Amino acid sequence: MQYALSIIMGRAIPDARDGLKPVHRRILYAMDQLSLYPNTGHRKCARVVGEVLGKFHPHGDMAVYDALVRLAQHFSTAYPLIDGHGNFGSIDADPAAAMRYTECRLTKLSQAALLEDLQDDTVDFLPNFDGNEIEPAVLPAKLPILLLNGSSGIAVGMATNIPPHNLNEIMTACTALVKARQGGAAVTDKKLLQMVPGPDFPTGASILSTGGTEKLYTTGNGGIVMRAVTKIEKITTGRKSSITRTAIIVTELPYQVNKAALLEKIAGLVNEKKLDGIADLRDESDRDGIRVVIELKRDAVAAVVLNNLYKKTPLQTTFSGNFLALMTANRDSSSSLVPQRFTLRQAMDCFLDFRFETIRRKSQFQLTKVNARSHIVAGLLMALDKVDMVIQIVRASADQQAAREALYIELGTSSEQTDAILKLQLGQLTRLNKGKLESEKADLEESRESLTHLLEVDDAVYDVMREEFIDMMKRFGGERKSSIIVEDDGDFCDMDLIENSRSVIVVTRGGYIKRMPLKTFESQGRGTRGKRGTSDGGESADSEVAHCFTCNDHDTLLMVTQNGIAYGLRAYQVPIAGRTAKGQPIPSVLPVRGDEVITAILPVSEFSDEEYVVLTTEQGWIKRTPLDAFEKLSSRGLTIATLEDGDRLKWCHRVRNEDDILIGTVGGMATRFGAAKLRPTGRTSRGVRAMKLREGDTIADMNVLSGKNKEYILTVTAQGYGKRIATSEFRAQARGGVGVIAIKFKRGQEEDKVSCLRIVKDDEEILVITARGIMVRQKASDIPSQGRSATGVMVQRVDDGDHISSVSIVPQYEEIDG
């Protein structure tokens, strides 16, 4: 316990009054004793370290030198207290040169703000470790150095981490608090946070307004998100500078981020394939500032790469603040110091109380000196009024002691006044000197009144404090270095890190799901075999394809189970895998139960209050629900339909009031009716009958007709035959009817059945996939347009034992501006 207390009090935790740890305080005091002022020459750091070790701080020389170096580093200390000359390290964590090579002296700020009042009995002095010297218990700070430069330290059982702040902002807040003490308007927490919106780090960078700052200032503990300052530039590369590429230029780094380690981290992520889109990385920093160039590949989106850099590297970090310092227990200067957690207001109040006390002690010290001088001046004036008597007494006295006694008896002066009279020279016994003494007496009387006023009236002290604060702001204040981004919450979602590319998502009947880039499947001709899209060609139940569709990576996927439960998932959250990979089990992506099967998936780019979701079951029940009812759908799942026993929910599509709904059966029948004829119902309703089914027939597919020109109904059978049918061939009917013929099966293929119906346009591409995962991407216009009674042509060649599982439309894709 004794050791722990010594660490807390003597090393690791700063004093809230002057913001310094003992080693820092002793370094500055030793330099003051050596007269290393800003207007003098630099002195070897080894000389200062030796002075500190020999007189005040009996610890290791490197511990003292490291503390001295940090006080001089402009990238570590917001307001350096030591002016260093030589190599004092770098932001790349390069160490400073040995103390025998470097030199130092005090800065103007440290002399004016910490040491100027030291000789005016403003603070207590204590014996040093061996009792041969005295040292100040605290420095008479005119500025709250604890907040301006911050502090960090790890003690036993506690730690502190205080960020630096802007001088102008802190002193403005202190001035407002002083005015409030004088009876002015109270400073609420909201006003205080407006005056001090956040820390100001010496390396600049940006602070994201995430609420961590407010929490830190009001509770003493909180995280502050810092982000590097970057810009996007077009640069030329190559031997002849003929290649133009986009580059991310980093000009400011978060506080305490090692630039060399940052570059190594980025390079490591690129080599490990965890960071895409970066072609080159180099450091072009010089004495003018930081410039890190991150050159991008041609097809890289700058915004995506930058967000990944923020996510995965120290270009964005969190400063974990913890306000802890040594403070008096009850704002009484005589009470002992104890480590306390404090808020921003408490830190300022502690400094203001301390400054109030130092001004009072300084005033008392100066008043004592003024009174002593006034007493002497009064005796000298008394002697000048009776100068002949004084001369005669001095001439008649046998020695100085006799003269002192005679003057004491004849003039009635005190011993101090008598000594001052005897020290007068003949040249000072003139009328001019008497006039100067009378003027000095008047000045001393005025000073006495002013100092007495300071000692008796609190508001007078507060006025002096305000004047000091304004003077400090004019001399040492400056603009904020760290900008504050108010509109950014700092916690960007994963979607900001993912390029909105087109992908193919495959779900197998065995419950596996995967995502593949659409560019994996080049466009092929009609009737070709296609490429494998699953692990074993669908020969096992696990790899047999149940759903295959294309979407953009930012789309929301409404994943519907046969039991009427819907789950929400972003497309980019589906694990990416190769063409022949098996994929991930759906329960590892969504919390589905073991008996649930994904029967329908609806990709949604944006939710509109003018659109609806149409749900259809295998037995022909249908319902329409507003799309925005699913906007807050999450991976936890939500009931969207009530089903009859033995029925399964299988289809899910978006629809508008002006659209028509097309439903086809496996037997080749189809019906069309207006979506407006379906009354919108709630999420948990059952719906109404969509189509009258013949015995043994079931619903094969459901789709939506927008009513636009040049739309066709693509009908594909399980054996790979298909055709396009003009939408005009299907007239609108009443809901619940038998429908009309949509396709006839080829002779010898009577056991064939309709696999799917899709609405296509001439300029669209389709992706046809078999149950074994064989995929063909082709143009819709390559499939001929035929009548309802035609048998179609070969769309995809199907192997024995395989069949067409699904057809999806490749979405139109627009380039997204980075």
Question: Tokens standing for 91?
Answer: 């932001």
Give me the DSSP letters along 262-307: HHHHHHHHHHTTSS-SEEEEEE--BTTB--EEEEEPTT--HHHHHH
Strands (DSSP E) contained in 493-597 are 502-508, 512-517, 531-532, 545-552, 556-561, 565-570, 584-585
Q: Is 813 a catalytic residue?
A: no
Residue 726: strand pairing partners: 712
The residue annotated as part of the active site, out of 37, 79, 101, 310, is 101
3-class SS of residue 585: strand
Spell out the residues 6+ positions from residue 139 whose beta carbon is closer than 8 angstroms to its own. Answer: 18, 20, 25, 28, 29, 114, 115, 118, 123
Q: Exposed, middle or buried: residue 559 (CB in 10 Å: 0-12, 13-18, 19+)?
A: buried
Closest CA to 707 of 726, 690, 727, 724: 727
In whole angstroms, give the CA distance from residue 331 to residue 191.
Answer: 24
Q: Within 10 A of 563 (CB to CB), how many other CB atoms are there?
A: 16
- Report helix, strand or coil for 213: helix
The side-by-side arrangement of strands in the sheet containing 159-162 is 151-154, 159-162, 316-322, 221-227, 206-208, 483-485
How many angstroms from the chain centroid is the CA of residue 162? Answer: 17
Distance (Å, whole) CA 221 – CA 342: 9
Give the span between the Cα atoms of 791 and 581, in whole angstroms.
Answer: 35
Number of Cβ within 10 Å of residue 271's Cβ equals 9
Q: Please tell me the total number of residues recorded for the chain in this structure.
A: 818
In angstroms, the first-to-last Cα distance of the chain is 58
**How far is the C-alpha of 791 from the C-alpha of 668, rounded, in Å?**
10
Integer angstrom CA distances of residue 479 from 54, 145, 192, 473, 476:
40, 17, 19, 11, 10
- Burial call 732-747: b when 16+ CB within 10 Å, e when fewer: ebebeeebbebbebee
| Residues marked as catalytic | 101
